[in-house]
Structure 1
């Protein structure tokens, strides 16, 4: 599949470039990422932080200043950091939207919906799984090429997710052993390669919405990984979700309203017992619900 076109990636309207925050305790790495992103006309680094706690403070402050609007379009988050690690920070973000009706409730909700791209290394398998359960929107190895990094950032900023091939293998292996995920409802794009979840694909319909699926009452999951059979239309939607398409683009392909696509995605999450679209795509590949691309 062809790489995301920077021009089209930034064509979100007249609102300007995709805004990013970089969170990592390695100053040189932060500087390198900041220089790379800032060199692109459709990307803008609006802040950096050296640990999860500082990131939460920065993002929360921006959300309040923007009166509940999304503080940024994507957060690049390291996992291992002092003070507060990335997994804890993601979990705090995802549980921030509660029912308290106070002056900060809108800001908490905006923070909960902010997409996070986790920066990881080969030796952090358990932390990657913890980040998936916490609600990360994507995983990228720190030694990825500049082109892959930029494409991953744009994909997640558009509202989707990104799985590095090495990370995909880890997730598949652990999910196959019964591991699960948690977090927000959104799509996946992955880096070039072959096998489940390989190949860069544009992504989902909006920042994390955390629409947890409810498993059918009294139902038991079958050997095919389903609580209930999928309809033909649900299979159509699932196939395009696994291609990493946003809900809006799925709607265009299938001549459906975006709201109808969202309804089908909710049904897919419920029928598979998955809690987010990252998990849904891995689940679909693992159980053969879609053919490996």
Structure 2
């Protein structure tokens, strides 16, 4: 079971999400929060695999709550689920440490896939916001030539791991595809973060797309 904490101030929304993320599909909602002030304590208490977080909540919004969760020891990944697709909200979510961003008009299948991916250590971006995500990234980074040189610092295996990450693969899937251990993959992922100057998996994936390491619609790397 994938253990989930839900944070949304609307009871009807929480009920709908909980109905989709049902035990029959491998999920268990272990806590529900009506405000961002409750999330960190709920995470510490229930130790979920993933947090599904709304943005607009009355006392503490989901962005502040995401930062609090990510500051915890061994924090779970956070999937932002919101009706607001403005650039500021999207970029702020990534800056706060969110591993995924999904709009509430997405279908149930997309929600299930997104939660599974984020819980498994991958990242997930709603296709509707991906172009603006890339545009925001381009506006915020150092000149492209300097960024490109960082890719050249990757070893062949590190570049391969980056390609797998960019296609949404978890560490376990990368390990299986490359026939190496999970520990080896974690070591390569850490090296990729350090050499690219990114903080987390989501930023590494954006980097890979923005610099042509992978392209939209491209299949998984050959093992």
Q: What TM-score, normalized to structure 1?
A: 0.68
Equivalent residue number for residue 59 of structure 2: 83
> 3-state DSSP class of the match of 1:289?
coil
Equivalent residues of 1:247, 1:262 under 8 A apart: yes
Residue 157 of structure 1 and its aligned partner are, at CA, apart by 2.0
In 2, distance between residues paired with 1:30 and 1:256?
40
**The one of 266, 271, 277 aligned to 2:190:** 266
Equivalent residue number for residue 28 of structure 2: 44
**The one of 144, 152, 172 aligned to 2:114:** 152
Residue 260 of structure 1 and its aligned partner are, at CA, apart by 1.7
> 3-state DSSP class of the match of 1:166?
coil
Equivalent residue number for residue 93 of structure 1: 69
In 2, distance between residues paired with 1:171 and 1:38?
30
Residues 116 and 223 of structure 1, relative CA distance in 2, 3 Å threshold:
closer
Residue 273 of structure 1 and its aligned partner are, at CA, apart by 1.3
Residue 252 of structure 1 and its aligned partner are, at CA, apart by 2.0
Residue 123 of structure 1 and its aligned partner are, at CA, apart by 3.8
Aligned pairs for 1:50-89 (under 5 A) are 50-62=34-46, 71-89=47-65
Equivalent residues of 1:120, 1:128 under 8 A apart: no
In 2, distance between residues paired with 1:179 and 1:91?
22
Deviation readout 1:34-60 (Å, 9 max, x if unpaired)? 122226341111221111102223223
In 2, distance between residues paired with 1:223 and 1:281?
14
Alignment of 1:178 with 2:178, yes or no, is no
Equivalent residue number for residue 280 of structure 1: 204
In 2, distance between residues paired with 1:280 and 1:143?
26
Equivalent residue number for residue 238 of structure 1: 162
- Answer 1 or 2: which has greater helix percent: 2
In 2, distance between residues paired with 1:55 and 1:48?
8
Residues 251 and 36 of structure 1, relative CA distance in 2, 3 Å threshold:
closer
Deviation readout 1:65-117 (Å, 9 max, x if unpaired)? xxxxxx11111100111110000001111223xxxxxxxxxxxx14xx21111
Deviation readout 1:220-254 (Å, 9 max, x if unpaired)? 96252516532222222121111211222212222
Residue 31 of structure 1 and its aligned partner are, at CA, apart by 1.2
Q: What TM-score, normalized to structure 2?
A: 0.88
Unaligned runs of 5+ residues in structure 1 are 1-16, 63-70, 97-108, 181-219
In 2, distance between residues paired with 1:137 and 1:224?
24
Residue 149 of structure 1 and its aligned partner are, at CA, apart by 0.9
**The one of 94, 100, 121 aligned to 1:132:** 94
Unaligned runs of 5+ residues in structure 2 are 219-223
After the TM superposition, which parts of structure 1 deviate over 4 Å for at least 4 consecutive aligned residues? Answer: none
In 2, distance between residues paired with 1:232 and 1:272?
14
**Structure 1, 35-44 or 20-29: larger mean CA deviation:** 35-44
Deviation readout 1:187-210 (Å, 9 max, x if unpaired)? xxxxxxxxxxxxxxxxxxxxxxxx
